[in-house]
Amino acid sequence: MAEIGQDIAKAKSLLEKGELVAIPTETVYGLAANALNPDAAASIFEAKNRPSFDPLIIHTDSVDKINQWVEEIPESLTLLAEKFWPGPLTLLLPRKSIIPDIVTSGLDRVAVRIPSHPLTLELLKTLDFPLAAPSANPFGYISPTSAEHVNKQLGDQIPYILDGGPCQVGLESTIVGIEEREVIVYRLGGLDIREIEAVIGTVKVKTHSSSNPSAPGLLESHYAPRKPFIVGDVASLLPQFLEKGQKVGVLTLSQIFREVPELDQIQLSAIGDLKEAAAKLFAAMRSLDDLNLDVILAEWMPNEGLGKAMNDRLQRASVKA
């Protein structure tokens, strides 16, 4: 298994040698490598068993550094960066040739963000290269929100996990770019669209899933538990599985079902708080997946604010490739 600690100098040394290091962010833990080193970036795809056509997000600590790696940051996106960086916002920007094709899957834009986590920001400040860092989990599985999650799944493939405690946001970053002067949201995430629109006005949401995505994290089947995962009206779905004698796990916002053992259900927020629920979503899915269950039933979240991003993850988790 990997060594877990808070040694920034050790993490820096490994990354400079082209090794992989898991890093904490406010959203989820990332599997990081030198984004300017094609071989190091390739090792991310190998460790995660990630398709090479699914691009990566690069992470750094300042806009000055980003300007070394992109052609421009359009005015409207600059306003978002000034407001929300460091934070759960990723910008899709025209890349310079210094960014290897493997990082962008050959596309002409690169996804960039400045994460809001003190330990990782301290690490990034010591580096003269950005870190490519998708979620630190096997491809398609639930994203990790603790160092232990990473070690359980990828600990035998990476030398070091930088432990920053549990992630505070728990959903991946919101991805934003521009097409024909129109601001586009490509992936719903930890930054509420309403907050974005308060800064730059109305945006278009275009989270189309495909086998050849234009931005990271847009594949149809993603974030999925190993067990059958069904999203819908839990009260209506439960009887058909219980009547067959199946062991059912339940994931809800705030409901509790008396028909299901207490240990087999997880309530994300007793008071229905979507921010609290979002921070717990992936850990809850992982906990249920680890139980001796036949099926997991989940309910849709209120389709507003962070609930929209949570529903996006629930939908992708329920799709079977």
Give the three-state DSSP class for 250: strand
Take residue 122 and report the two structure tokens written for it. Answer: 């301290």
Residue in 129, 141, 123, 113 with CA at minimum distance from that of residue 24: 123
Q: Would you say 76 is a known binding-site residue?
A: no
Q: Would you say 160 is a known binding-site residue?
A: no
Q: Would you say 27 is a known binding-site residue?
A: yes
**Cα–Cα distance between 161 and 244 in angstroms, integer?**
43
pLDDT band per the 50, 70, 90 thresholds, residue 276: very high
**In the predicted model, what is the mean pLDDT of residues 221-241?**
91
pTM equals 0.87
Q: Would you say 97 is a known binding-site residue?
A: no
pLDDT tens column, 288-319: 999 999 999 999 999 999 999 999 889 988 96
Burial class of residue 46 in the structure, from the number of CB atoms within 10 Å of its CB (0-12 exposed, 13-18 middle, 19+ buried) = exposed
Burial class of residue 315 in the structure, from the number of CB atoms within 10 Å of its CB (0-12 exposed, 13-18 middle, 19+ buried) = middle
**Cα–Cα distance between 162 and 159 in angstroms, integer?**
10
Domains of the chain, earliest start first:
3-205 (3.90.870.10), 229-318 (3.40.50.11030)
**Cα–Cα distance between 230 and 294 in angstroms, integer?**
11
- Contact between 92 and 73 under an 8 Å Cβ cutoff? The reply is no
Q: Would you say 173 is a known binding-site residue?
A: yes
CA angle 160-26-127, nearest 5°? 50
Give the three-state DSSP class for 48: helix
pLDDT tens column, 126-181: 999 999 999 999 988 999 999 999 999 999 999 999 999 999 999 999 999 999 99
- Residue 260, Cα to own-chain centre: how many angstroms? 30
**Cα–Cα distance between 168 and 86 in angstroms, integer?**
14
143 secondary structure, DSSP code? P
Q: Would you say 318 is a known binding-site residue?
A: no
Q: Would you say 105 is a known binding-site residue?
A: no
Q: Would you say 187 is a known binding-site residue?
A: yes
**Cα–Cα distance between 289 and 257 in angstroms, integer?**
18
Q: Name every residue whose Cβ is closer than 8 Å to that of residue 54 and which is 6 or more positions away in sequence.
A: 105, 134, 139, 213, 216, 217, 219
pLDDT tens column, 188-230: 999 999 999 999 999 999 865 544 456 676 666 667 889 999 9
Q: Would you say 143 is a known binding-site residue?
A: yes
